């Protein structure tokens, strides 16, 4: 399979899983929507789980790449980038196809702690948290890790509520809370 075709298969699968959920999306639908026969799919992915893991890896790279770049565009200081977090999230919430965080949904459907899908989802969150902790340290926070954990909590909560209520409003409330917490953590 040409690398392009493989990448396209993963990306289209991502759209399907993101819109319909994982259990609710059958491999027949994946084959029909991607235009790749089920036989070929199973020649490159030993199971549906392996395809999901590839989808999550793409999502991880895409999302972190987008978010970190957007933060750099919005601010050029570490503190400024932390403060811009919920501005970027607000832009995401307003995108037409926004349906919440793919990793939250993945770990909700595959919630066993030792499940590879759950572990990969947790890994994504860990990478985000480490990035925020690095920014917090550069910004001079007294407890960078603690601030990063607080911002992560705000971020996940805002995503969940925005998705459930189909409203971008939680970005504004999260932003206000984040600014206050950042202000307290960095003097």
Partner DNA sequence: ATGTTTGTGTACCGATCTGTTAACTTTCGA
Partner DNA sequence: TCGAAAGTTAACAGATCGGTACACAAACAT
Binding site for DNA (CB under 7 A): 1-2, 5, 23, 25-29, 35-40, 42-44, 46-49
47, 69, 77, 111: which one binds a second copy (CB under 8 A): 111
What's the farthest any 2 CA atoms get from each other in the chain? 59
Alpha-carbon distance of 86 to 175, in angstroms, equals 5
Helical residues (DSSP H) of the chain, grouped into ranges: 3-20, 27-34, 38-44, 48-74, 78-83, 85-94, 102-109, 116-138, 144-165, 170-185
Token output for 82:
């932390």
Token output for 52:
């999901």
Q: Is 53 among the residues that bind a second copy (CB under 8 A)?
A: no
How far apart, in Å, do the first and last CA atoms of the chain sit?
Answer: 55
**Residue 146 binding partner per list DNA, a second copy, none, with a CB distance cut-off of 5 to 8 Å that depends on partner kind:** a second copy
**Residue 157 binding partner per list DNA, a second copy, none, with a CB distance cut-off of 5 to 8 Å that depends on partner kind:** a second copy
Minimum CB distance to DNA, residue 63 (Å): 24
Minimum CB distance to a second copy, residue 88 (Å): 16
48, 59, 70, 105: which one binds a second copy (CB under 8 A): 105
7, 32, 122, 127: which one binds a second copy (CB under 8 A): 122
Q: Is 168 among the residues that bind a second copy (CB under 8 A)?
A: no
Q: Is 38 among the residues that bind a second copy (CB under 8 A)?
A: no
Rg of the chain over all Cα atoms, to the nearest angstrom: 18
Cβ(127)–Cβ(65) under 8 Å?
no
13, 34, 81, 121: which one binds a second copy (CB under 8 A): 121
| CB closer to DNA, 35 vs 65 | 35
């Amino acid at each position: 399979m040409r690398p392009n075709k493989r990448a396209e298969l993963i990306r289209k699968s991502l759209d399907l899983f993101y819109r319909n959920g994982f259990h609710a999306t059958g491999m027949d639908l994946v084959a029909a929507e991607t235009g790749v026969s089920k036989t070929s799919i199973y020649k490159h992915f030993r199971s549906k789980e392996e395809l999901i893991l590839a989808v999550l890896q793409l999502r991880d790279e895409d999302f972190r790449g987008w978010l970190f770049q957007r933060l750099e565009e919005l601010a050029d200081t570490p503190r400024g980038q932390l403060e811009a977090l919920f501005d970027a999230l607000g832009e995401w919430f307003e995108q037409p196809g926004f349906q919440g965080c793919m990793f939250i949904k993945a770990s909700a459907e595959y919630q066993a702690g030792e499940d590879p899908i759950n572990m990969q989802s947790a890994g994504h969150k860990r990478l985000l948290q480490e990035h925020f902790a690095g920014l917090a340290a550069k910004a001079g926070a007294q407890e960078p890790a603690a601030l990063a954990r607080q911002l992560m909590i705000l971020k996940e909560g805002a995503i969940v509520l925005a998705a459930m209520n189909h409203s971008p409003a939680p970005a504004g409330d999260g932003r206000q809370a984040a600014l206050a917490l950042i202000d307290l953590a960095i003097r």
